[in-house]
Structure 1
Amino acid sequence: MTPSTDGSAADCPGKTPTSGCPVALDQDFYTDPHPAYRSIKRHGNKPTEIVLKTGMAYLPPGLRAWLVTSYEDVAFVLRDERFRKDITEAMPLFAANSGQGGSEDRARSSLLYDNMANNDPPKHTRLRKPLNANFTARAVSGRRPDILRAAAEALDVVAGRETFDLVQDYAFPFSIAVICDTLGVPARDRRTFNSWVQTITGDADAQTLQRDAGLMVDYLRKLIGLKRESADEDVLAHLARSLEPAEAVAQAYALLAAGYETTANLIVTGLLTLENNPEQKRRLWADPSLAPRAVDELLRHQSPFNLSLYRYTTDTVEVGGVKIPAGSIVFLSFAAANRDDSRFDDPDTFDIARSRQENLAFGGGIHNCIGKHLARLEAEIAFETLARRCPDLSVRTPRERLDWKASPTFRGLRNLVVGPGPAVAHAA
């Protein structure tokens, strides 16, 4: 992490979160955020000013914001109504806090991002209601056979290969199959959806982002129109019959992006973590029934998010002894909160035998992740399937060649080569 005012170290020579300069979140942070979090913790674990060196979707590069890292403070913000989420109100704040004034309204975002994740009640409640029944623990558990089949089919494609790409050949195809099946997206369109969502949730240039966002909007509009007149009972059909077309499109996108990008990333970073903890991996591979405990610990130890989705303050709010001014953009770090030693013993140690404690991987309050039961089950099945069918699986990509996405939100790799035999290198 490099403190600066606009991403330039020369403007701000300080080296700590207390230097009076915002901490720049750069490629080093995307590769491994925990050194930055440990530095913040050493200086009191208080809310810290940051600047994003890389933008994404509606988040412009150069955006200055506040980062909340302690478990207690994150839990407080999740439930305090002075921290709001309204995409139309937030857009001018993104511009103002990035030095872009009113000239940059990130208009491309409005078609996809005006969804439940970016709104508060009563709109949030109305948008979420058509989805609730599809994502209960009971409803999700009934989908176990379908999810098992999706994992098996993904591995069938790479059967017999000496090596394969865990990201592109397993994690993403498996996750996109599950979410498309859940929503009711035809199987023939999964590959296209995979490409679009990776563009929109990644670090693509503005022109590519606008192109793929437009293609996704057009496709979803047509599909939702067909679902409205159909007798289908899938998620898209429920959205089509319950919401206005534009709202249904935005809701569908939210489920597609958050519903598979995070799970795919958890599978990949999870295998890296297991590789770096060989005794833990041996235990899981010897007994795949430990997958639920392993996934719970992976969610705590390796959050699939870099930063939470934004919030903004409607008033000056004191958090952890720090006053955050009205009109500020605020991000939460679930990853840092889940390694807070005031909440978890020896938090940097990965241990699938750890006593279960509530972690914040899925957020909390009214914006807790609606797909948390599905995400857990997907990850459990992904690791169960790998352990049973690939007993000698290990990472073949050297650590120095790991290519992390430059995304402020989603933490994930572009590729990860795996195969039988001893690992080439372990990765943190």
Structure 2
Amino acid sequence: MNNPLQDPGFFRNPYPTFAALRSTSPVQQVPGGGGRSSYLVTGYAEARAAFTDPRLSKDTVAFFAGKDTGRHLHPAVSRSMLATDPPRHTRLRSLVTKAFTPGAVARLRPYLTAVTDELLDAWVPGEPADAIGSLAVPLPVTVICHLLGVPDADRAAVRTWSNELFAAGQPERIDAASHAVADYLADLVAAKRRTPDDSLLNDLIRARDGADRLSEDELVSLAVLLLVAGHETTTNLIGNGLLALLQMPGSLRRLRDEPGLADAAVDELLRYDSPVSTATFRFATEAVTLGGTEIPAGSPVLIAPGAANRDPARFPDPDRLDLDRDTTGHLAFGHGIHRCLGAPLARAEGVIAFRTIAARYPDLHLAVPTGELEWRHTRLTRGLVALPVRP
């Protein structure tokens, strides 16, 4: 049996595949790499339960202990906060939470607005522009690099390594990128120690060197996670969301006329085309029954927010974009203790991007047919390679 999550058609549009799988069972076994199979969760109720079930562990180090995977991921990536359970996860998360609270993000809004305006200044009315390369990528990359204190000259390399880390079915590229970005951040930590500044990275260094609450490996690992996860989700939110708006006639004009609608619109766009298609790896520490399916102990489990957010049992007529929909409880950012730490920042960047585009370019339209758009080949996230538009 072929893996439905690796089919080329899945990358273009995963939702028919998700719907077909969910109609059979909200939880079912699917083939994976290396001869291993996983249990895929596509139902909303089941996904929400799985996100908070302590029997589904994120401790991948424990799972792969003694197994020859043939992989060579840098430990800063393979042992990141995403791959931990409490109490270690609780300790690590507490060290960075304050940088992404609603209050902290609110103080960043003038900066986010200025960066967005500067990027959109490069769009020339009547001439094509790539909304991914000129906005969806540089906006969140600029912001997270600003927070971490990454020099301007290094930001292109950061984006390249991040892209490589999500190259589905190409483990050599992923492993090489993990070493490149981790080695870079280890060098950056050393530079920040020599010349401290007021960046978030220096806050983490002080937690390591002052209170000694972080090991050196944990420090570099947190830096890698913040750098990569700090822009990947937002890039896909802006790209996927803008495409959806452009396919819904009059939506940008409505956002221009009703700027207060942007907050609700972002949540519907997150639900409609989730930036995270399938969440990161979990495994059952004991037998778990979910959605009527028994998951044996030791089995890998994949939760699919992209599928759960289109479950008609939770969101009626789920394949229709509705900017007035009540999206309470959507799972685009996950749920429970592993819910996306940067969700407030990602939402703010999305709101400002869409509101500014609508105000400046209410007649923006696609510059190519939708069938010509290319999607990135990654199971974990969902995003466009490019989005040609004409202001």
Is the CA contact (8 Å cut-off) linking 1:73 and 1:320 kept in structure 2?
Answer: yes
| Aligned twin of 2:60 | 87
Root-mean-square deviation (Å): 2.1
Which of 242, 254, 261 is residue 290 of structure 1 equivalent to? Answer: 261
Task: State the distance in 2 between where 1:62 and 1:171 align.
Answer: 36
For residues 347-358 of structure 1, what are the structure 2 equivalents within 5 Å?
347-358=318-329
Is the CA contact (8 Å cut-off) linking 1:115 and 1:124 kept in structure 2?
Answer: no
Which of 20, 24, 30 is residue 50 of structure 1 equivalent to? Answer: 30
1:153 aligns with 2:97: no
Equivalenced residues, count = 385
Shift of 1:62: 5.7
Task: State the distance in 1 between where 2:172 and 2:26 align.
Answer: 37
Which of 239, 247, 257 is residue 228 of structure 2 equivalent to? Answer: 257
Task: State the distance in 1 between where 2:5 and 2:184 align.
Answer: 37
Is the CA contact (8 Å cut-off) linking 1:47 and 1:66 kept in structure 2?
Answer: yes
| Aligned twin of 1:266 | 237
Which of 38, 42, 62 is residue 19 of structure 2 equivalent to? Answer: 38
Greater shift, 65-74 or 245-254, is seen at 245-254
Task: State the distance in 2 between where 1:316 and 1:25 align.
Answer: 27
Over 3 Å counting, the alpha-carbon distance change for 1:72 and 1:390 in structure 2 is: same
Shift of 1:117: 1.0
Deviations 1:20-54 (A, max 9, x none): xx7554221121111012212322x42011234xx
Shift of 1:311: 0.5
Q: Secondary structure at the match of 1:39?
A: helix
| Aligned twin of 2:106 | 141
Is the CA contact (8 Å cut-off) linking 1:64 and 1:329 kept in structure 2?
Answer: yes
Over 3 Å counting, the alpha-carbon distance change for 1:205 and 1:359 in structure 2 is: closer
Shift of 1:213: 2.7
Task: State the distance in 1 between where 2:265 and 2:290 align.
Answer: 33
Task: State the distance in 2 between where 1:68 and 1:30 align.
Answer: 18
Task: State the distance in 1 between where 2:70 and 2:53 align.
Answer: 27
Q: Secondary structure at the match of 1:151?
A: helix
1:377 aligns with 2:348: yes
Greater shift, 211-220 or 168-177, is seen at 211-220
| Aligned twin of 1:96 | none
| Aligned twin of 1:310 | 281
| Aligned twin of 1:336 | 307
Q: Which amino acid aligns with 1:296?
A: D
Shift of 1:84: 0.1
For residues 87-166 of structure 1, what are the structure 2 equivalents within 5 Å?
87-91=60-64, 102-159=67-124, 162-166=127-131
In structure 2, the gaps of 5 or more residues are 208-213
Shift of 1:152: 1.4
Deviations 1:138-162 (A, max 9, x none): 1111100111111112222344671
Task: State the distance in 1 between where 2:52 and 2:160 align.
Answer: 35
Shift of 1:204: 8.0
Q: Secondary structure at the match of 1:66?
A: strand
Q: Which amino acid aligns with 2:49?
A: F
Q: Which amino acid aligns with 1:89?
A: A
Task: State the distance in 1 between where 2:250 and 2:182 align.
Answer: 46
1:72 aligns with 2:45: yes
1:346 aligns with 2:317: yes
Q: Secondary structure at the match of 1:404?
A: coil
Over 3 Å counting, the alpha-carbon distance change for 1:286 and 1:51 in structure 2 is: farther
Q: Secondary structure at the match of 1:304?
A: coil
* Structure with greater contact order relative to length (CA < 8 Å, sep ≥ 6): 2
Task: State the distance in 2 between where 1:259 and 1:30 align.
Answer: 22
Provide the TM-score with structure 2 as the length reference: 0.92
Which of 242, 245, 248 is residue 277 of structure 1 equivalent to? Answer: 248
Shift of 1:135: 0.8
Is the CA contact (8 Å cut-off) linking 1:165 and 1:415 kept in structure 2?
Answer: yes
| Aligned twin of 1:396 | 367
Which of 217, 223, 239 is residue 246 of structure 1 equivalent to? Answer: 217
Shift of 1:107: 2.4
Q: Secondary structure at the match of 2:96?
A: helix
Is the CA contact (8 Å cut-off) linking 1:224 and 1:245 kept in structure 2?
Answer: no
| Aligned twin of 2:211 | none
1:177 aligns with 2:122: no
Task: State the distance in 1 between where 2:360 and 2:35 align.
Answer: 45
Which of 24, 27, 36 is residue 8 of structure 2 equivalent to? Answer: 27
Shift of 1:91: 2.9
Provide the TM-score with structure 1 as the length reference: 0.85
Over 3 Å counting, the alpha-carbon distance change for 1:204 and 1:169 in structure 2 is: farther
Over 3 Å counting, the alpha-carbon distance change for 1:362 and 1:207 in structure 2 is: closer
